[in-house]
């Protein structure tokens, strides 16, 4: 049953990529779909514990050790292609909760970003992120919270993308790591980040803490793409996040549920007025 659900999910992604994502040629889309299935089969044949595999996607290398790694990259294209309608050419992007670099890859290849700053707290994911980042100095391994210090990151068993320092009762965790915690304003000051075209935040329940850590950066951000919690534990739900951004001069311009029937979260795109 699980295999059938995964296949149905994958085929829905294929349909969305082929018929909804604009600005890509049909051969390029077909190549990505082919890479996805070949990567999955190769990963299953080699079994767990294999070395990270490199899939060439749109002429660039993408490293992952998860059988569904290329599928997760495809999902970013399907979920986020509408950003091109809002952002200027060559945008500057800050990606908080970067995982292994799926959104950063999309930002460079599809949005043609001039710079992508990536922040990921999980050490094993950050090591893969470094493989997928052409500018290692713009990739930091730390959590982002509203105060400096440290936090415990709980590593999800199903996929590292669900890891967070906010535990969920319906999630199984296999390990935990104590990692450095920093404010987003502190990171931006260290890296010399000026005007930001897109601030993307996806931290599995701690998004409100990230926003509260960045009063200065928010003043320099044109768009904020943030995952907002609904039916899950969080540092602040969609009402608090929405009110917080509205008070700081942003308006909601796009909203999409991650699940149709009972969404755990919603992706909200906010634009500075």
- pLDDT tens for each residue of 43-59: 888 766 566 788 889 88
Residues whose CB is less than 8 angstroms from the CB of residue 263 and which lie 6 or more positions away in sequence, other chains included: 230, 231, 257
**Residue 257's pLDDT band (cuts 50, 70, 90):** confident
Residue 260 has pLDDT above 60, yes or no: no
3-state secondary structure of 200: strand
| DSSP, residue by residue, 62-77 | EEE-STTHHHHHHHHH
Select from 90, 92, 99, 148 the least CA-distant residue to 116: 92
- pLDDT tens for each residue of 145-193: 999 999 999 999 888 899 999 999 989 999 998 999 999 999 999 999 9
Which sign does the torsion angle of CA 148, 152, 155, 156 carry?
A: negative
Edge-to-edge strand ranges of the sheet holding 196-201: 139-140, 115-119, 92-96, 196-201, 221-229, 265-272, 250-257
Task: At 219, list the tokens.
Answer: 């003043």
What does the pLDDT read at residue 136? Answer: 92
Question: Quick one: average pLDDT of 89-104?
Answer: 98
Q: CB–CB of 86/38 below 8 Å?
A: no
Percent of the chain with pLDDT over 90: 82
Topology of the domain comprising 86-272: Rossmann fold (3.40.50)
Q: How far is CA 207 from CA 12, 37, 143, in A?
A: 28, 32, 11
Query: pTM (2 decimals)?
Result: 0.95
Q: What is the dihedral of CA 61, 47, 15, 28, to 10 degrees?
A: 20
- pLDDT tens for each residue of 203-251: 999 999 999 999 999 999 999 999 999 989 999 999 999 999 999 999 9
Q: CB–CB of 187/119 below 8 Å?
A: yes
Query: What is the chain's alpha carbon radius of gyration, rounded to the nearest angstrom?
Result: 18
Give the start-to-end residue ranges of the domains of the chain. Answer: 1-74, 86-272
Residues whose CB is less than 8 angstroms from the CB of residue 90 and which lie 6 or more positions away in sequence, other chains included: 112, 113, 114
Select from 135, 260, 85, 113 the least CA-distant residue to 199: 113
Select from 267, 238, 270 the least CA-distant residue to 251: 270
């Amino acid at each position: 049953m699980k295999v059938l659900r995964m296949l149905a999910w994958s085929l829905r992604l294929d349909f969305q990529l082929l018929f909804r994502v604009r600005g890509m040629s049909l051969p390029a889309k077909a190549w990505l779909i082919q890479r996805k299935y070949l990567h999955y089969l190769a990963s299953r044949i080699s079994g767990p514990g294999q070395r990270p595999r490199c899939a060439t996607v749109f002429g660039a290398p993408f490293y992952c050790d998860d059988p569904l790694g290329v599928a997760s990259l495809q999902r970013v294209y399907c979920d986020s292609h509408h950003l091109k309608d809002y952002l200027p050419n060559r945008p500057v992007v800050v990606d908080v909760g970067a995982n292994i670099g799926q959104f950063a890859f999309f930002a460079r290849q599809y949005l043609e970003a001039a710079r992508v700053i990536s922040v990921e707290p999980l050490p094993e994911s950050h090591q893969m992120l470094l493989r997928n980042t052409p500018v290692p100095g713009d990739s930091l391994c730390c959590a982002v919270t509203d105060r400096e210090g440290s936090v415990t990151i709980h590593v999800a068993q199903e996929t590292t993308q669900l890891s967070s320092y906010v535990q969920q009762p319906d999630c199984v965790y296999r390990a935990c790591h104590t990692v450095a915690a920093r404010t987003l304003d502190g990171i931006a000051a260290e890296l010399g980040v000026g005007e930001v075209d897109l601030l993307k935040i996806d931290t599995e329940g701690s998004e409100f803490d990230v926003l509260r850590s960045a009063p200065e950066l928010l003043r320099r951000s044109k768009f904020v793409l943030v995952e907002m919690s609904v039916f899950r534990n969080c540092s602040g739900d969609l009402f608090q996040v929405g009110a917080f951004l509205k008070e700081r001069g942003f308006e909601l311009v796009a909203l999409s549920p991650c699940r149709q029937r009972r969404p755990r979260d919603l992706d909200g795109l906010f634009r500075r007025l």
